[in-house]
Amino acid sequence: MRNFKSVLGLLILFSFIKLNAQNFELGKVSVAELKEKQHSKDTSAVAAVLFKNGKTSFDYSLKNGFVAITEVTMRIKIYKKEGSDWANFTLPYYVGYENYNDDVVKFSNAATYNLENGSIVKTKLNSEGSFKKNVNEYWNEAWITLPNVKVGSVIEFKYVLKTENIVKFPVFNFQDKIPVNYAEYTTNIPYFFTYKPIQVGFIDIKMDSKVVGGSFSFDDKNSQTVNLSFRQLKTKYTAENIPALKEENFVDNIQNYQSSLHHELEKTNFPDEKEKNYSKDWDGVAKTIYADKEFGIELQEGSYLLNDLKTILKDIDSKEERLAVVFKFVQNRMNWNNDNGYYTDKGVKKAYIDKTGNVAEINFILISMLKLAGLDASPVLVSTREHGIPVFPNRTVFNYVVAAVVVDGKQVLLDATHKYTTQNILPLNVLNWKGRLIKQEGISQEIDLVPTKPSGKYYTLMVKMDKTGKMEGKYRFQMTDYDAYSFREKYAEINTDTYLEKIENDFGGIKIQDYSIDNKKTDLANPILENFTFTASNYCDIIGDKVYINPMLFFTQSHNPFVQEKRQMPIYFGYPKQEKYNISFEIPEGYIVESIPQPMKISTEGKELSFSVNTFSQGNKILILVVKENSMAIASADFYEPIKEFYQKMIDKQNEKIVLKKIQP
């Protein structure tokens, strides 16, 4: 991965420049805001956040302990019809706690402003525009729908989120999918809490901190009011003229690069109590996680597996065979309920009986069974692509767990939740930089999740063309490793006729016959092999006495996916890849080869990307050999220009023609 550390360096930035305070109040919408026709810096914007103001502070009660309270106010201007979607604002909140009360969300001060006959008309949100719904056993959603919203409207609202889970604050996003004119976030943290602030993204966020006084009033167990005064750190983060977060090609998860601020609890230091560290280092994180009963104790369970294990391992001695048999058994028996997480829900024993469980339950069963089979197996904590990059030591940065097994000194990664994974082939969203292998004694080890071995696509085409330009040929295609896994995930359960119709359309209207495929749903460790015959009539042009042929036929790329002038986000390829094309043409009688594309080999400076073409012509046969190689999973944005230039040269070469000339009688 080229310069991936520099990617993280760009993501984790701090700024300590002071910014003069600005005052934004709900209910103070101006005529000038309502008259504004388009955004001053982004005329394409469908809407813009005029201001976003957030604050997180603490309260205390004897019954519930500390509560973190986050208040956010927003004002949004609607410029175009599509911007009306911003009248629907949704906020998820957590309800799956075992030891805390559910989070609480409340909206208020929601209103829409329009300019009618030169006067400002305010329409307040009534109770019919406020909703809540259950998403799953862990999450609820609260949302509002602002009334009377149209092009030109200004909307505003406030929400308050209260949580007893003070391990981390809600993420405050400075950047959004529309421009943000001004954003401000203030934290008031009592001195007995130490939080680690992490800034993500590319926006310059200014910070101003000072120590101020704070106080709590609460009733003690005798219903007497107690007043507690303390020092607290007040920090204000501000940013102005924030551009919209826009989609780019080859991005793993755009939210990974959205300018935002995260706060994770590092330690507590209460009066008359010993200091408690929450995220001092990775080994500390490992010990904390193993101490939770939904993790450590669940991994110690194993007796329920013994009878089945004896049956499936009868007469099997080698570690490699035991590994393969146990993995396939768990993968076939268990069914994933689509819930992520590295803690169990109903427990491994019940999940095993039910044959259904979450990620932790299924892979804990796998780990326990592998251990009982005499193998060295451990859990590896992972943050999936959609969850974000785990850049600092804390248990909340993870949301997934896989298994690591060491056999004869070699480490194998396994995930039994998906039906088409194999040894060292994990779900694609798990290939997210680094994982963390942890052991019960508190030892942890960084694990590279991104494969270094390239996955392969290998094409062989034998094509015969007649005088009218019609082609018929034989097609053979082999896929290995992650390319094979991706194919199975997409197409293994799809009807063959539906799949072939898609391929015929994707390949420009060819007609397929005699289709066969090997290892689509069985022998998952082996390559997938496709074979068919085809006819095509639109991959050459006949002009006068000459024929112009696309050498790569339906594999020809015509557009560069990298077209923007500059790029901020890293370029994500997923995993290393190799593609090879072996295409042979038999030209029609009465024609000779006038010209063929000349051989060429190009690569980036460090050989991260390479492309080569070799062409041969003899008699009525033409052979085209093309190789594309990419050794990167992700590249930093400062490598964008070389990648863009490389792709353009590669595409230009693919679009050079084979030219045939008719023999004059």
Same domain, 232 and 359: no
CATH number assigned to the domain comprising residue 187 = 2.60.40.3140
Give, for 604, the enclosing helix (H) or strand (E). Answer: none
pLDDT single digits (tens) 353-368:
999 999 999 999 999 9
pLDDT of the residue at 396: 73
Same domain, 101 and 236: yes
Strand partners, 58: 68
610: CB partners within 8 A, 6+ apart? 601, 602, 603, 604, 627, 628, 629
- Res 391: pLDDT: 67
What is the rounded CA–CA span in Å between residue 496 and residue 183? 52
**pLDDT for the residue numbered 228:** 87
Task: Read off the CATH number of the domain in which 390 is found.
Answer: 3.10.620.30
Task: Give the integer Cα–Cα distance in Å for 448 and 445.
Answer: 10
Residue where one domain finishes, among candidates 252, 277, 302: 277
Pairing of strands 335-336, 356-357: parallel
Pair 392, 503 in one domain? no
What residues have CB less than 8 Å from 60, skipping those under 6 apart? Answer: 66, 67, 216, 218, 228
Report helix, strand and coil shares of the chain as percent, to nearest 5.
20, 40, 40
Question: Which DSSP string do the residues of 46-81 spell out, in sequence order?
Answer: SEEEEEEEEEEEEEEETTTEEEEEEEEEEEEEE-SG
Measure the CA angle with vertex 198, ends 192 and 200; round to 5°: 160
- Among 412, 339, 337, residue whose Cα is nearest residue 378: 412
Rounded CA gap, 64 and 66, in Å?
7
Query: In this predicted structure, what is the pLDDT of residue 441?
Result: 85
From the number of C-beta atoms within 10 Å of its C-beta (0-12, 13-18, 19+), residue 206 rates as: middle
**Percent of the chain surpassing pLDDT 90:** 80
- 398 and 336 inside one domain: yes
Last residue of a domain, one of 277, 309, 328: 277
E strands present in 573-657:
577-586, 591-595, 600-603, 609-618, 621-630, 634-635
List the beta bridge partners of residue 163.
68
The pLDDT of residue 279: 60
In this structure, are 15 and 162 located in the same domain?
yes
Vertex 568 angle, CA 567 and 570, to 5°: 95
Is 643 found in the same domain as 535?
Answer: yes
- List, in order, residues 6 or more apart from 513 with CB less than 8 Å away: 532, 533, 534
pTM: 0.83
**Bridge partners, 56 (sequence order):** 70, 187
Nearest to 188 by CA among 318, 57, 78, 329: 57
What parts of the chain have a pLDDT lower than 70?
Answer: 1-23, 279-280, 391
Residues 442 and 477 in one domain: no
- Give residue 5's pLDDT: 41
Q: In what order do the strands lie in the sheet with 591-595?
A: 540-543, 546-549, 658-662, 591-595
Nearest to 72 by CA among 261, 264, 266: 261
CATH of the domain at 535: 2.60.120.1130
Q: Are residues 398 and 516 in the same domain?
A: no
Q: How far apart are CA 402 and CA 412, in angstroms?
A: 11
Residues 6+ apart with CB under 8 A from 353: none
Across the chain, how many H-helices and E-strands are there? 11, 36
d(CA 378, CA 394): 19
CA 581/CA 550 separation, integer angstroms: 14
Which of 456, 633, 635 is CA-nearest to residue 562? 635
Q: Is residue 617 a contact partner of residue 593, using CB atoms and an 8 Å limit?
A: yes
3-class secondary structure, 465 = strand
* 226 contacts: CB under 8 Å, gap ≥ 6: 216, 217, 218, 219, 220
Tell me if 642 sits within 8 A of 630, measured CB to CB. Answer: no
What number of other Cβ atoms are within 10 A of residue 560's Cβ? 17
Query: 535 — alpha (psi -120 to 50), left (phi > 0) or beta?
Result: beta
C-alpha dist (Å) from residue 327 to 73, 110, 607: 51, 54, 37
Of 328, 428, 352, 413, give the one whose Cα is nearest residue 378: 413
Query: Does 95 share its domain with 221?
Result: yes
488, amino acid identity: R
Contacts for 411-414 with beta carbons within 8 Å, 24 or more apart?
Answer: 411/447, 412/323, 413/380, 413/447, 413/449, 414/327, 414/363, 414/366
Residue 579 is encoded by which pair of tokens? 């593609």
What is the DSSP-derived secondary structure letter of residue 454?
A: P
Please indicate, yes or no, whether residues 16 and 52 belong to a single structural domain of this protein.
yes
Tokens 């796998």 found at: 366
Q: Is 392 helix (H, G, I), strand (E, B) or coil?
A: coil
Chosen domain end from 448, 482, 514: 448
The helix-helix angle for 319-333 and 359-372 (nearest 10°) equals: 150
- Between CA 551 and CA 622 the distance in angstroms is 9
Indicate whether 393 and 464 sit together in one domain. no
From CA 582, how far away is CA 628, in angstroms rounded?
12
Residues 313 and 353 in one domain: yes
What Rg, from alpha-carbon coordinates, does the chain have? 30
**CA separation for the pair 625, 140 (Å, rounded):** 55
Provide the domain limits for residue 87. 4-277
Rounded Cα distance between 193 and 23, Å, is: 28
Total of domains in the chain: 3
User: How far is Cα 532 from Cα 476, in angstroms, rounded to an integer?
Assistant: 7
Q: Are strands 104-116 and 119-124 parallel, antiparallel or unpaired?
A: antiparallel
Q: Within a 13 Å sphere around the CA of 119, how many CA atoms are in the beta-carbon half? A: 4
Assigned token pair, 114: 């329009």
Query: At residue 475, what are phi and psi to the nearest 5 degrees?
Result: -120, 130
Parallel, antiparallel or unpaired: strands 621-630 and 577-586: antiparallel
